[in-house]
């Protein structure tokens, strides 16, 4: 068996099979720099534990030239929530996977909206979401928060919800993703 065939069998040799929707493709930097694309898809939650085993196997196969440097060339399931770059903090990936499973696309919109956001801030900043008209969501939000509590029905009739919604979009953070509008407090 040649070097590339042995490299392709690394995960089989380790008895590993990726099984979740959140995966990363970890590649061998030394092999890549030498013109070979060597790597494997693994569960993001296992990446921190598996990278040491993968690099050790790659060194056995490719020698010192393949070294112990790795990179992530692709990912699945993270969408816009990917922390960025080829060398993210692998220890943080399990928490990110859990949070995405818990909060779904709303968290993806939050994290993808700006670099440097923390998962822990999501709950405090999340105001809601709508698949429909933002104007209707804003009206319901105003009613739910008691904005109209002291207003008569006639006063509410003359309220300019279109203008208020435009101002609302400037005051809040409104992110559209895959047909859904997510609203976050500033």
Spatial CA neighbour of 165 closest among 179, 181, 180, 146: 181
Spatial CA neighbour of 59 closest among 87, 29, 91: 29
Angle at 44 between CA 40 and CA 50, to 5 degrees: 60
Answer for the pair 182, 109: CB distance below 8 angstroms, yes or no. Answer: yes
Question: What confidence tens digit (pLDDT) does each residue in 156-170 have?
Answer: 999 999 999 999 999
At a CB cut-off of 8 Å and minimum separation 6, what does 162 contact? Answer: 135
Q: Is residue 14 scored above 60 in pLDDT? A: no
Mean pLDDT is lowest, of 1-5, 37-41, 63-67, 153-157, for 1-5
Give Rg (Cα) of the chain: 24
Place of tokens 């309220």: 159
Question: What confidence tens digit (pLDDT) does each residue in 58-67 have?
Answer: 888 888 778 7
At a CB cut-off of 8 Å and minimum separation 6, what does 4 contact? Answer: 36, 38
3-state helix, strand, coil in the chain (%, to 5): 50, 20, 30
Q: Domains for the chain: give ranges and CATH numbers.
A: 3-102 (no CATH), 123-184 (1.10.10)
Question: What confidence tens digit (pLDDT) does each residue in 104-127 have?
Answer: 999 999 998 676 788 889 999 999
Q: Is residue 11 scored above 80 in pLDDT? A: no
**Residue 155 main-chain phi, psi, to 5 deg:** -65, -40
pLDDT at 65: 77
Spatial CA neighbour of 96 closest among 44, 42, 19, 20: 44
Q: How confident is the model at residue 4 (pLDDT cuts 50, 70, 90)?
A: low
């Amino acid at each position: 068996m040649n070097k590339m065939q042995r490299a392709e069998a690394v995960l089989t040799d380790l008895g590993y099979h990726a099984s979740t929707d959140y995966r990363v493709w970890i590649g061998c930097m030394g092999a890549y720099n030498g013109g070979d694309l060597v790597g494997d898809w693994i569960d993001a939650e296992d990446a921190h534990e598996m990278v040491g085993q993968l690099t050790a196997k790659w060194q056995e196969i490719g020698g010192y030239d393949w070294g112990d440097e790795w990179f992530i060339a692709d990912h699945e399931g993270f969408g816009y929530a990917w922390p960025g770059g080829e060398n993210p903090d692998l220890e943080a990936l399990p928490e990110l996977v859990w949070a995405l499973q818990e909060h779904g696309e709303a968290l993806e919109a939050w994290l993808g909206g700006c670099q440097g956001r923390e998962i822990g801030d999501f709950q405090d900043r999340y105001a809601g979401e709508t698949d429909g008209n933002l104007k209707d969501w804003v009206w319901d939000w105003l009613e739910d928060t008691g904005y109209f509590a002291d207003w008569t029905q006639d006063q509410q009739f003359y309220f300019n919800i279109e203008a208020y919604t435009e101002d609302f979009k400037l005051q809040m953070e409104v992110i559209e993703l895959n047909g859904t509008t997510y609203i976050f407090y500033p």
